[in-house]
Amino acid sequence: MKMRDKMTYVCKGLQILTIAFLLFLSLQPVEVRWADADVWLVESMSVLGIVGICGLMAYRTKARITLVDAMVALWALYDLFRVYIGAEYPCATEGLKACTAILLYVFTRVVFHESRLSAWWLVAGVLLCGCYESIWGVLQIMDGTSRHHLFLLTGNFQNPGPYSAYLMMAAVVGLAVLQEKKAVISVCMVQRIAGKASNLLQSRFPDLKHAPLNSVFRQVLSHADKAILAAILLILITLPSTWSRAAFVGLGACMLWIWRNRYWRYRYFVWAGLAVCAIVLYFIKQGSADGRTVIWMSSLTSWTHSPWLGVGVGGFRHACAEGIAEMWNANPENRLFNSAGVTDYAYNDLLKILVEQGLAGAVLCVSVMTVAMIRLYRRSKPLFAGTLSLLVFSMFSYPFELMPYRVVIILIVAWSESDHEEVRQGRMLGKPQCSLGRCWAIFYTCVFIMMSLYISHETERRKEVDKDVGLFSGMHQEAFITDYYELQSDELDNAQFLFDFAKTLRESKRYQDSNAILQKGVQVSADPMFYVIMGNNYRDEKHYALAEVSYKKAFAIMPNRLYPLYQLMLMYEEMNEVKRMKEMAKRVIETNPKVESPATKEMKRKAKERI
């Protein structure tokens, strides 16, 4: 066998290992800020860079830069510009994760730069991961090991919402494979692999006259369709247990696309059925649907004040809270606010980009995904369908804020942009490809490897800081104040840390210092309790006017909570303003909280006593 052929097999093997490793990372437990998988990912990127350099040296070809590569680079530069120029909000964690995603795309593109790897490796990987997640969910139902006490199954996620996206994507990929009437490994590929393996064995072992690989592979192939169908059924049986409407919508939309040539005759019945399903799904979880509507409307309200460049990276939560307050002040009688809640996510990834990066960032995002999806459609229909389902899901949830889905979509897009026949002939949306010399490509890859080492060090350091914070989280003792100040610079985007810090300072009667920390907290959180604690601090210092402003702001942010009104009532009682106290007590009684609890009943009882 020629040396070049041997290097080709080695490079393909490394590419397969890359796919397996990244999909393995997507199955690891997900945390709110930093997980072990985040550290493993950044630590492995330098290895991916070295693998890519070996491929560049082995193939001795130029690195081709596609239109998607150029657009991703432009979007990445704009994102970094919005992070470091202006710096309206603390966003170190989000910035590090964005840099990790950018570097991962660069390294996977280098690894796959001359990949003739079949799409079926990725298809098989996604299907296997979907089956693994499904089995994990079933086991959680059986033994009660869910990662959230309110839900029966969550997989490796913290709630069933994002978990359902993996099941949905794997099911859609499997359905698209069956629609094409192909198995995970195509007939031609089986024959080619079997033939090459047979020739290799006979060249190494001349006495071996017959290698029965062809018959073995044909036997496997005859059962592949059944295996795929069994995997799809397993996933579809588990999916309804998540009660994720976003997953149902994504699955339904992609099924219509997959069987678009068959349903047209019955389109009116299909559309009527979909309308009925939409109404049923809305009323089943009406509060959740209305709550997301409030989030979207309030976010767009804040975005209108800075439409072109957005409010700034990391500013979505603050913008959402300010938008709700602005909407409530304009129309306090709107019953939609009864479903408002504290949110950390936009439940629409494109909307978050629009709010934080403005129209410029949103246009770049849509352009990148549009061109990438066109390329992906040409290369692999099943992967296109799976990615499309994930994009539909992201319109109602937040998958791309989580590491597993970032890894999956970057892997798929990087593979689809890799060098193959269409690219080698210079056809990419009708445009010729740019190329980068092999030496320059190796040089830039080395530069990115150095950057990844810094990102790796910073990620590990911040994960350790978060671990230290967890040791005294919730302990509001004066002895920890020095520790809080030491860790403050690394935790300015951690709302829970800032809230605990502020409460610790309040317990020590350092009211002004507490309010200074709370002012930082409202920049990274939509929780009205920051303003309530701020009002309590002002009240204890006898600054009643400032306390009143804080309490009213807390209620405007969350108009279905009694606590800010209750605190106002107590403050008016403390000020001996009986009339205002009774007016506020009446409002406490008349206001319907989002969730009835013993605490809300007690507040209403005390309000009745004061009347």
pLDDT of 348 higher than 70 = yes
Backbone angles phi, psi at 544, to 5 degrees: -65, -35
- pLDDT > 70: what percent of the chain? 89
Residue at 544: amino acid letter: Y
pTM assigned to the model: 0.91
pLDDT of 213 higher than 60 = no
Residue at 77: amino acid letter: L
293-303 tens-digit pLDDT = 999 999 999 99
427-442 tens-digit pLDDT = 444 444 677 888 889 9
Dihedral sign of CA atoms 547, 550, 556, 562 in order:
negative
pLDDT value at residue 184: 41
238-294 tens-digit pLDDT = 999 999 999 999 999 999 999 888 777 788 888 888 889 888 888 888 888 899 999
What is the token pair recorded at 307? 């439409």
pLDDT of 139 higher than 90 = yes
Q: Which long-range contacts (CB under 8 A, 24 or more apart) does 236-239 make?
A: 236/171, 237/134, 238/134, 238/137, 238/138, 238/153, 238/167, 239/164, 239/167, 239/168, 239/171
pLDDT value at residue 261: 80
Average of per-residue pLDDT across 71-96: 88
CA dist 216 and 214 (Å) reads: 5
Inter-residue contact 381 to 120 (CB < 8 Å): no
pLDDT value at residue 567: 96
Q: Can you state the angle between helices 213-238 and 187-204, rounded to 10 degrees?
A: 140
pLDDT value at residue 216: 53
pLDDT value at residue 211: 45
Average of per-residue pLDDT across 527-543: 96
Residue 376's CB is within 10 A of a number of other CB atoms, namely 24
The mean pLDDT of the chain is 88
Question: Coil, strand or helix: which one is 428?
Answer: strand
pLDDT of 113 higher than 50 = yes
171-204 tens-digit pLDDT = 999 999 988 764 444 444 445 555 555 555 555 5
pLDDT value at residue 86: 62
473-506 tens-digit pLDDT = 777 788 889 999 999 999 999 999 999 999 999 9
Residue at 242: amino acid letter: T
Residue at 2: amino acid letter: K
Q: Which CATH code is given to the segment(s) 469-610?
A: 1.25.40.10
398-427 tens-digit pLDDT = 999 999 999 999 999 999 998 655 545 544
Q: Which long-range contacts (CB under 8 A, 24 or more apart) does 448-452 make?
A: 448/49, 448/103, 448/106, 448/107, 449/45, 449/46, 449/49, 449/50, 451/99, 451/103, 452/42, 452/45, 452/46, 452/49, 452/103, 452/107
pLDDT of 209 higher than 50 = no
Average of per-residue pLDDT across 53-80: 88
What is the residue extent of each domain of the chain?
Answer: 1-116+418-459, 118-270+380-409, 285-379, 469-610
